[in-house]
Homo-oligomer: A and B are copies of this chain.
């Protein structure tokens, strides 16, 4: 009896891969580990994806595909303040919705290599530009750097585990405004 769990085989594979990436990192996760977690063999994994890089790209895709529209929407606002507010809200929504992906993979060396050759890299630069404006002074640059790292990694903190998405989003936005305002 093939009693499959919910979702397609592909979706179940991506969920298992993300869990394992979160625990062991991308390089520390083998295709064998992914196959074992699903109760299948490596060959079944290769039926769904051509390579390990393809699996990683598919895992980060839901997050990456939101970057372009987010940048578009923010750039359409009138005035730098409105643009910054819009991009900040969008980024916070993204890191809350996709916190497992962003905390686990944003700083993973394998992911950084793949993203550096990905179209979404442009959107990332646009978002960065919107957040920082043209930030020539060192103080602003450091604040943006702290904000970026803080927003991305906050979701990984044990002290935040209990919060539901709505509370997390509100407090994250408040913390972000503290860093930027003034």
Contact = CB atoms under 8 A, between A and B. Distances in A.
A138 B152 contact: no
Copy number in the complex reads 2
A117 interface: no
Which range holds the interface residue count of chain A?
35 or more
A83 to B, nearest CB: 19
B138 A145 contact: no
18 contacts: A23-B109, A24-B27, A27-B27, A107-B107, A132-B159, A135-B159, A139-B171, A141-B157, A141-B160, A141-B163, A142-B174, A143-B178, A144-B157, A145-B150, A145-B153, A145-B154, A146-B176, A148-B157
Interface of A: 23-28, 107-110, 132, 135, 138-139, 141-157, 159-160, 163, 167-168, 171-172, 174-176, 178-179, 182
